[in-house]
Amino acid sequence: MHFSRLPRLVTLRLHLDENNQGSWTSPAWGGFPSLKRLLLNSSILMDRGLIAATLFLQTLSSLRLTSLEITAAPPAHVEDFGRLMFAMSHFQHLQDCTVDFYTLSDWHSMVIDGNTLSPLYQISGMRKFGLGYVLIIFQREAVRDLAAAWEHLQELQLYPHMTNRYQLHLEDLPFFSQSCHTLKTLVVELFPVGYNWVCDASIHSSSCPLSCLHIGKSEISRRAEAEVAAYLAEIFPYAVIEHSFPPPPRGWTISESCADEFEFEATGTIARIDALKKTLIRGAVRAKAREEDDDDAPVSL
């Protein structure tokens, strides 16, 4: 069937490969004017996959697209990633967007600048955004711009590449609590937090509704637990802190040496931070309740 005869097509799942490469830019696709959800996989084309995905997106005339999922292999040139972002930015009604790469794929020393995502910031209605297994570095200003542009964001998932896990600094997180007032889920890998890390006293308490902060395998010093817990209690008071470290075997103690000792210790560190954060929040709630009771108490003359 000719695709142009499907003007009411709402969902399309498409694999781009060598057999259909001649039709990526063909007008025979018909533009799909009613398309709302597109799942595009070009990974079999290896380093030419992003180019193929970009060319196909440029053939679409759909202005109703709200959900886009792209799966690809790392590009041959870093500029290919930027061209894809620009092509995606034309779909102004996007709300749910994911770009995933192979978990263990080789980026050949290519590093994506976080600002490369900026064409997407004109899509003000973005609700969910995911970027998986890509070598990308965010400067502080890039994090600020992302959070400010997507103030209606509900879910942000940045899954790290195995060879360069770190994405954001702990100090970058307040941008989300200050700008993204509907954010519920944040998945990100943090740069290591050292033993002498000190909480920023200028951070003000937030009402951000974040319910899940997943920090992957972020490394946090045991000696920084109290500071980090206090910091997170201020910016994400309702969030449960989750991680990707394995749980230690039953009966294991920190004095025992084993191959997974570091990860077992990290599991305990994050668990203690989460528990201490909850204690601080409960204490703050009780203190506020006492203040309100004092304000309501009758004044004796």
pLDDT at 28: 61
- Residue 175 domain boundaries: 165-295
Confidence of residue 27 (pLDDT cuts 50, 70, 90): low
Same domain, 15 and 121: yes
For residues 192 and 225, state if they share a domain: yes
Model confidence at 14: pLDDT above 70: yes
Quick check: 74 and 47 in contact, CB under 8 A? yes
Give the count of domains, the chain: 2
Task: Write down the residue that tokens 């020393």 correspond to.
Answer: 109
Looking at residue 1, what is its pLDDT? Answer: 47
Q: Do 193 and 52 reside in the same domain of the chain?
A: no
Domain boundary among 98, 132, 163: 163
Residue 9 has pLDDT above 90, yes or no: no
pTM: 0.87
Q: How confident is the model at residue 70 (pLDDT cuts 50, 70, 90)?
A: very high
Q: Does 39 share its domain with 153?
A: yes
Average pLDDT over the chain, rounded to an integer: 85
**Which residue type occupies 237?**
P
Label residue 223 by pLDDT band (50, 70, 90): very high
Residue 121 lies in a domain: yes
Tokens of 163: 């060879």
pLDDT tens figures, 231-255: 999 999 999 999 988 877 776 666 5
Could you tell me if 25 and 113 lie in one domain?
Answer: yes
175 pLDDT tier (thresholds 50, 70, 90):
very high
55 and 86 belong to one structural domain: yes
Residue 83 has pLDDT above 50, yes or no: yes
Are residue 204 and residue 245 in the same domain, yes or no? Answer: yes
Cα–Cα distance, 65 to 95 (Å, whole number): 9
In angstroms, the CA 20 to CA 33 distance is 21
- Quick one: 169 and 131 in the same domain? no
- The whole-angstrom separation of Cα 145 and Cα 231 is 22
> What pLDDT does 124 receive?
93
Q: How many residues does the chain have?
A: 301
Higher per-residue pLDDT: 93 or 23: 93
- For residue 283, name the pLDDT band (cuts at 50, 70, 90): confident
Lowest average pLDDT, out of 85-89, 194-198, 282-286, goes to 282-286
CB 92 within 8 A of CB 116: no
pLDDT tens-digit readout, 84-111: 999 999 999 999 999 998 756 677 778 8
One domain for residues 121 and 243: no
Q: Judge whether 300 lies within some domain.
A: no
Confidence of residue 145 (pLDDT cuts 50, 70, 90): very high
User: Is pLDDT above 90 for 122?
Assistant: yes
Give the per-residue pLDDT at 295: 61
pLDDT digits (tens, 9 = 90+) for 199-222: 876 777 788 899 999 999 999 999
Q: In this structure, is residue 87 part of a structural domain?
A: yes
- Per-residue pLDDT band for 129 (boundaries 50, 70, 90) equals very high
169 and 51 in a single domain? The answer is: no
Identify the burial level of 290 via C-beta atoms within 10 angstroms of its C-beta, where 0-12 means exposed, 13-18 middle and 19 or more buried: exposed
Do 194 and 151 have their domain in common?
no
* Residue 301 resides in a domain: no
Q: What is the CATH number of the domain that holds 21?
A: 3.80.10
